Amino acid sequence: MKCLLAIDDLILGCATSAVRAWNWTTGRTKKDLTNILLFGGAAIDISAASFDKASLAAGAAIGYACILPMEYSNNIAIAKLEEGIYTSAAIPIELEECKQRATFYGYATLGWLTCVPRYTNDASLTLSAVGIIANSFSNFVMRAGDMPRRKNCLSRGIDSLATLIGSYRQKPKPAYA
């Protein structure tokens, strides 16, 4: 059990680092990153299946059609409950329940990797694994701590440069009477 908790802590630590890097670079929240990983992972896996066999693509599309709405609605619930935390000091029990569902969805989606050997070519196999891992990681990202929106790194850099240039401008000499 300790081994599983250590693996979960490692994955959650990676997700927290990814959220911080995403927020620092783009200024956007973990909800945006989660949606990109969730739907991008599904699109990658379905396209990988279509490279191999049309029947696999249809099966993958049906599988994602079943699980994506559940994952997405859970992510929306987590985001709304976390917004409520900023206005009150109490952490609602519903938030912990939603995060437990996100944990289940993350590991259940990761379990799909056992189905990856169904492909006959290596490119499809690799693409499918990337898509499944991205989809699974999106659930761990939703469990990570949230960070508020802010300016992206380029805007902050330009503002700092403007401040630096403004501080080097010559100041007018005081006129003595």
Give tens-digit pLDDT for 9-45: 999 999 999 999 999 999 998 999 999 999 998 898 8
Give pLDDT tens digits for 132-177: 889 999 999 999 888 888 888 888 889 888 888 887 776 667 777 5
173 within domain boundaries: no
> Rounded to 5 degrees, what angle do the CA atoms 67, 73, 77 make?
145
d(CA 82, CA 38): 19
In 3-state terms, what secondary structure has residue 171?
A: coil
Residue range of the domain that includes 7: 2-148
Quote the pTM value: 0.78
Looking at the domain assignment, is residue 74 inside a domain? Answer: yes
d(CA 142, CA 133): 15
Count of structural domains, the chain: 1
Residue 103 is assigned to a structural domain of this protein: yes
Is 165 domain-assigned?
no
